Structure 1
């Protein structure tokens, strides 16, 4: 299986951690820190949860793609249910449908066993660009 997750500079900079990946599923996590991830309202910035979901959903799809294919986010519907505090935030993503060019993926984000956010997204599937 091709590398994914912490192999990308953005994921490392944010602190995303790969938990497991395969068979159209992916789980990733991040340890939310007040001084690093919070917004002025005293909760984690929504972009942190969104980035975790987007990356996890891409990981789920990449686990199914043949060599030479890659994916990119087309759109994500993201629902914030409750504010995220300090502690571990985990995202579980599952590919619901994969066509030849588009896949639909579901994601759920949990903190301390509580559902805090949910997402559903469509991702494009295409041939990897040639190396420059």
Structure 2
């Protein structure tokens, strides 16, 4: 697992881990911890799974873009299938279509080889702002 650099504090704070990235695909994981990630209802907060998917989807797209281009989430349709408990949560994201300005990306989240959530999103593609 490769940790995120200092430039992505949000991912580091949640404990997101990059497993692999390239060729329009990205696999990321997080070790769900009861004390850090659970909601009062006794399962992982839905925002943890959503953040994992959003970040993996962006990673899949970035792997196809030139270094001077960025991407940003436009919208994501997220489906929660079953509750997420303690243990490893893995997300597999893949770019389905990349246009000049918008890409569509699919993601599947698994815990113990069981599908727990799925997502599909559209991401904007744009030139990185000039350095100041």
**Fold shared per TM-score above 0.5:** yes
Residue 6 of structure 1 deviates from its aligned partner by 1.5
The number of residues matched between the two structures is 129
Q: List per-residue Cα deviations over 1:88-127 (Å, max 9, x = no partner).
A: 0000000000000000000000000000000000000000
Structure 1 stretches of 4+ moved >6 Å: none
Shift of 1:5: 7.0
- Asked if 1:81 is matched to 2:81, the reply is yes
The structural deviation recorded for 1:131 is 2.0
TM-score (norm. length: structure 2): 0.95
Q: Whole-Å Cα distance in 2 between the matches of residues 67 and 32 of structure 1? A: 32
In 2, Cα distance between the equivalents of 1:46 and 1:82?
Answer: 11
Structure 1 vs Structure 2 CA RMSD: 1.1
For structure 1, the residue ranges without an aligned partner over 5 or more in a row are none
Q: Provide TM-score, normalisation by structure 1.
A: 0.95
The 5 A counterparts of 1:21-32 are 21-32=21-32
Alignment of 1:63-78 (within 5 A): 63-78=63-78
